[in-house]
Structure formats: structure tokens, C-alpha cells
Structure 1
Amino acid sequence: MFDITDAELAWLDQEDAHVAEMIRRHGVYITYVGGACSMPGCACAEAGESPAFGYTAGLFGIGHPELAITGVSMNTAGQVLNEVAAAVLDGAHLLPGMTLDAASMPRRISVQRVPNPAEIAFTANRHYHRPDRASVPLLQLVYADEKGRFPWDDGYALTPDAQPLPGQWRA
């Protein structure tokens, strides 16, 4: 266990309130992890850092897994996650193996189950008071390359570190 200062506890309380307010107001809160250190050529990336990714908090409250996307900019992650989450909030239920088209992503998206959500969805788990052993479920939105091929298809154009598959990355 680690010691937490009063200032850190106060910050966490404010962050928890902010996340809850965003979920009340918009249905989901999006966390984006990454940035300069996930850029190609960064020493951290060479040391095995995960690529940039974004994920939702809020869908578990309506009985649906949270959503994640890797290897895209903060803007793209926000647009795609907001669009797909809006469909879920309107009644869609995504299942692993489904293929989606999203206006915010010019490529097809495949929905895949993430086997290690406790290593990724920290904000969602904190919001729902879920311990690691009972993490919120998480679905990864895996996007096709420019020719419509997914990472498991022959000839896929992107490198594995550009968009790792579920279970091959963590926060």
C-alpha cells in the first residue's frame, strides 16, 4: 500500500466528482492516455510503453461494457468513442466480432473483447468502485487499414505496435 497525501486525496475527490458530472451530463467520460511519449521514435515507446489509447466510463452503468480504442490521436479517439457510445446509449448493444461503420472513422471497426480490462480501465473501475478481480468489462474498437484489412488478416498494412490487439497492451 502507499501513503496518499491530503492534497492528493482532495484532488482525487474532485476528479471523482468531475467524472460523475460528465457521465450525468453526457452519458460517458472519456479518458485518454498517451501523448508525446507514445509518438514514434520516443525513448519511452522503445522501452515498451503502450501506444496512446482512449476509453470510456459510463456504459457499465447501463449494463454495457466500456469501449477502448488504441493508436489514434486524442481527437480521433474522442470522436469515435463518443459516436459509438452514443449508439449504445440509444439502445445498441455491441458484441465481440461485430463490424461497425462510424462516420468519425473512415475505416471499418471490429468490436473485440479485452481480456485484461483491470490493467486498462482505471477511471471506469474507480468510478464504479470495482476491484481488479471484478473489473468493468471492456471492448476494443479495432480499426481496419486503408484497404479494409484487420490486424488478423493477411496483408494488414499497420505494424503490431501501431494498434495492438486486445490482451497485447495495458496502461
Structure 2
Amino acid sequence: MCRQCEDPDRPGYLERLREGVADRGWLVQGVEGTGLYPPWAYTIGLSGYGLPELVVTGLPALPAAGLLNGVAAHALHASPPSPGECIPLRGGPLVEVVPLAEPSAHLVFAAALYGPGIRALQLVHADTRGRFPWSADYRDGRGGQPVLGARHEA
């Protein structure tokens, strides 16, 4: 874990996040994968608009940021995705929206800025064959995308 993640009150970093959110509306915080843990990323700033933050796991930094920025921009101009909603991405995989069970446990810096009552939605992406992580044959059994909440089944 990085030193800033170990101490989210570390002087300077939260202020830089506040400034970035004030300038751009939201930011994407990436977390590198290590060993058994895949990379993941989340937005910081959507809570300031009364919206849930967005999370994606198992994608490298650039694709994760592209996905989160695209959905965040849409959420600000239309509405955020709903739990259980499936979103076909142009040129990308199908995504299903899953609410996080404990957002403040995973979105350390968003919680530091907006409090422990933040809400968050995970954008769970299908593999190249259209299978989701709750399928035993997702990525041919190799996994790599933790789901941080329970699926919303209609």
C-alpha cells in the first residue's frame, strides 16, 4: 500500500485532490495491482453533485480512467447508471452496474473528502466472450475482477 493510502490525512494530498475536483469536477484515483490484487480505480468528486462515485476493478489505469471518465461525464449531464443496469460500451465490453456494499472501505480518498456515507457503483465489465465475474468460466476461470457488492437482480 502507498504511504498516502496508509494515511489519507497526509498533509497536502487531500488539498491537491480538493483543488483538482474544484478545477475539473471530479478526478480518477488509480490503485496499482500488486501480487494477487488486480488494479482498480475510482472517481472522486461525484459525491459533491449528490451522485454515487464510480469504481472499476481489474483494468489497467488508462482503460479504467477512460471508462470512469466517460460514465461520470454522462452521469453529470443525464443521470447515473442504476444498479442492475447493463451498459453496452461503444467499442468495449458490456458493463453491469453493481452497488458497493461498503464504499468508504474501498474509496479512501473520496470518503476522506465527502465523509463515510458516500455511495458508489461498480462498473463490472464482461470478458471478451461476454461473461461476467459471477460466471465460473469468466476469463476461462482466471478471474481478476473482484466485485465489491451484491448484484441487483430484477
TM range (shorter): 0.7 to 0.9
Contact 1:84-1:102 within 8 A present in 2 as well: no
Match of 2:138 in 1: 156
Counterpart position of 2:96: 110
Q: 2:3 aligns to what?
A: none
TM-score (norm 1): 0.74
Please report the TM-score for the alignment, with normalisation by the length of structure 2.
0.82
Report the AA paired with residue 62 of structure 1. Y
Partner of 1:86: 73
Cα shift at 1:160: 6.3
Partner of 1:139: 121
Q: Is the CA contact (8 Å cut-off) linking 1:27 and 1:58 kept in structure 2? A: yes
Against the structure 1 CA distance between its residues 25 and 101, is the aligned structure 2 distance closer, same or farther, given a 3 Å change threshold?
farther
Deviation at 1:93, TM superposition (A): 2.2
CA deviations over 1:104-137 (Å, ceiling 9, x no partner): x610111101102121011101111x14xx3x11
Deviation at 1:164, TM superposition (A): 1.4
Counterparts in 2 of 1:27 and 1:163: CA distance versus 1, 3 Å = same
Aligned partners of 2:42 and 2:53 also within 8 Å: yes
- 1:115-130 equivalences under 5 Å are 115-128=101-114, 130=115
Q: Contact between 1:151 and 1:160, CA under 8 Å: does it hold in 2?
A: no
Q: Which runs of 4+ in 1 moved over 6 A?
A: none
Q: 1:26 maps to what in 2?
A: 24
Cα RMSD (Å): 2.4
- Percent identity, aligned pairs only, is 31
Deviations 1:73-128 (A, max 9, x none): 0111111111111101112221100111334x610111101102121011101111
Structure 2: runs of 5+ lacking an equivalent: 1-6
CA distance in 2, matches of 1:14, 1:102: 36
